[in-house]
Amino acid sequence: MENKEVMEKIVSLCKRRGFIFQSSEIYGGLASAWDYGPLGVELKRNVKEAWWKSVVHTREDVVGLDASILMSPKVWDASGHTENFHDDKVDCRYCKKRFRSDQLEERDCKTREKCDFTEARAFNLMFKTHLGPVEDEKAVTYLRPETAQGIFVNFKNVLDSTHRKLPLGIAQIGKSFRNEITPGNFTFRTREFEQMEIEYFTHPDQAEACHQQWIDERFQWYLDLGMTKDRLRLRKHPDDELAHYAKGCSDIEYEFPFGWSELEGIANRTDFDLKQHAQFSGEKLQYHDQVAGEKYFPFVIEPSGGVDRATLAFLVDAYHEEEVEGRSRVSLRLSPKLAPIKVAVLPLLKKNVDLVELARRIKKDLQKDIVCVYDDTAAIGKLYRRQDEVGTCFCVTVDVDSLEDGQVTVRERDSMKQERISVEGLKEYLMSKL
């Protein structure tokens, strides 16, 4: 299958089965803005939960935060975003489109040959808005372009309120906004997106080693959630690619159908941000190590990933097509931790009242502990195909024999292997498999 075709199939599946819809579709759609449907929101929540569990709940040295999107505009002066956060853009006098000057070769333009570009100009990527009713310069602020600054400005609050010692990480998941010149590739590059970021504060002497540990740890996270190893790689940034605040950065990249692209960057931000905020705010943001009798600005290691990008990569990676008995079978081989629905309970005959009653009872019992659905709206073959296509890990089929022997058929998604399991032991069986 051509790569373009794979992507088209995934986009179409996402719409057809309620993972991702185009924003404002009934008004013709808003370019590069997407809404997560009933299954998409479950998948995305599972990605975020897996991340939070891995970086906050199962560690001793990271705590969480949820800072606001709107912040004092001074934050962006201090962080350097007002001055430095821009792409160089050019306008085409012929087709009237705007492009990033470093992406002219790959530009999507029907009249390529006739393009006639202006000089490159810096274009700040922050979304400007006004606080309050008066739209003057004093009221200008921005939608945050990264969640990170919410963490830096709360560094002191978190330390003072938790009495923690360094090294300490602060993790946050939240929306960020960038007025990207060339968004695209479905949910890969959008103007509104979610980030999952950690700012890990450590002693400058520990920063290099700590950077490597986070690179390894974050790479492993994708593998633990079932991502294909051969489609993941690390790429170290050359010096001329580093952001204005970074001393070093490695990206975790995934091989999407549209090529190798960044999922997450793990940067050494040095003490840049804390020093800047200390200078701009006048607050003392040095860390006082009372045991060592040392005061210093900690260095910061920042693993910064995109929720939407990770979700898209998991979807792409899970997409599987095969021939089964002369028919094409599509399945999403998502890790049970990520699958939006873990179990579907399906009665074989919807006209048999006892059978439906038993199936409903099973679903009611399972739903207390497992995300599951009940479906009797089609013949069993079709129900299986529907569930495979959305990545449901197990189908539980209740048939006439179940009424006699108290057993149901459990079908596993990837192998399609079927097993008879007693209704009594069903939940335990499924929980152990999931």
Residues forming contacts to ligand GAP in the complex (CB under 6 A) are: 146, 148, 178, 180, 189-190, 193, 195, 197, 262-265, 302, 304-306, 308-309
**Cβ 63 vs Cβ 162: under 8 Å:** yes
In angstroms, what is the minimal distance from the CB of 251 to ligand GAP?
7
Angstrom distance (rounded) from CA 387 to CA 392: 5
Selection from 278, 268, 277, 270 nearest residue 299 by Cα: 270
Given the complex with ligand GAP, which of 52 and 117 has the nearer CB atom?
A: 52
Given the complex with ligand GAP, which of 235 and 337 has the nearer CB atom?
A: 235
In angstroms, what is the minimal distance from the CB of 396 to ligand GAP?
37
In angstroms, what is the minimal distance from the CB of 249 to ligand GAP?
8
Q: Could you tell me where the DSSP H helices lie in 250-306? A: 272-281
* CB burial of residue 261 (10 Å; 0-12, 13-18, 19+): middle
**Cβ 372 vs Cβ 342: under 8 Å:** yes
In angstroms, what is the minimal distance from the CB of 90 to ligand GAP?
19
From residue 177, how far is each of 79, 82, 168, 272 by CA, in Å? 16, 14, 27, 22
Spell out the long-range contacts of 405-410 with Cβ–Cβ below 8 A and sequence spacing 24 or more. 408/362
Angstrom distance (rounded) from CA 143 to CA 156: 23
Given the complex with ligand GAP, which of 263 and 343 has the nearer CB atom?
A: 263
Given the complex with ligand GAP, which of 178 and 211 has the nearer CB atom?
A: 178
CA atoms within 13 A on the CB side of 320: 17
Comparing every residue's Cβ against ligand GAP, the nearest one is 306
In angstroms, what is the minimal distance from the CB of 55 to ligand GAP?
15
- Rounded to the nearest 5°, which phi and psi values hold at 231? -100, 10
**Cβ 305 vs Cβ 197: under 8 Å:** yes
Q: How many residues does the chain have?
A: 434
In angstroms, what is the minimal distance from the CB of 85 to ligand GAP?
9
Given the complex with ligand GAP, which of 313 and 362 has the nearer CB atom?
A: 313
Task: Name residue 92's beta-bridge partners.
Answer: 117
In the block, which residue shows the tokens 């790429």?
235
Angstrom distance (rounded) from CA 89 to CA 122: 6
Angstrom distance (rounded) from CA 400 to CA 355: 7
Given the complex with ligand GAP, which of 174 and 306 has the nearer CB atom?
A: 306
- Rounded to the nearest 5°, which phi and psi values hold at 95? -90, -5
Given the complex with ligand GAP, which of 189 and 411 has the nearer CB atom?
A: 189
In angstroms, what is the minimal distance from the CB of 357 to ligand GAP?
47
Given the complex with ligand GAP, which of 244 and 382 has the nearer CB atom?
A: 244
Given the complex with ligand GAP, which of 311 and 335 has the nearer CB atom?
A: 311
Task: Name residue 63's beta-bridge partners.
Answer: 170
Given the complex with ligand GAP, which of 148 and 207 has the nearer CB atom?
A: 148
In angstroms, what is the minimal distance from the CB of 28 to ligand GAP?
22
Q: Say which residues have a Cβ less than 8 Å from residue 358's Cβ, sequence separation at least 6.
A: 347, 398, 402, 403, 423
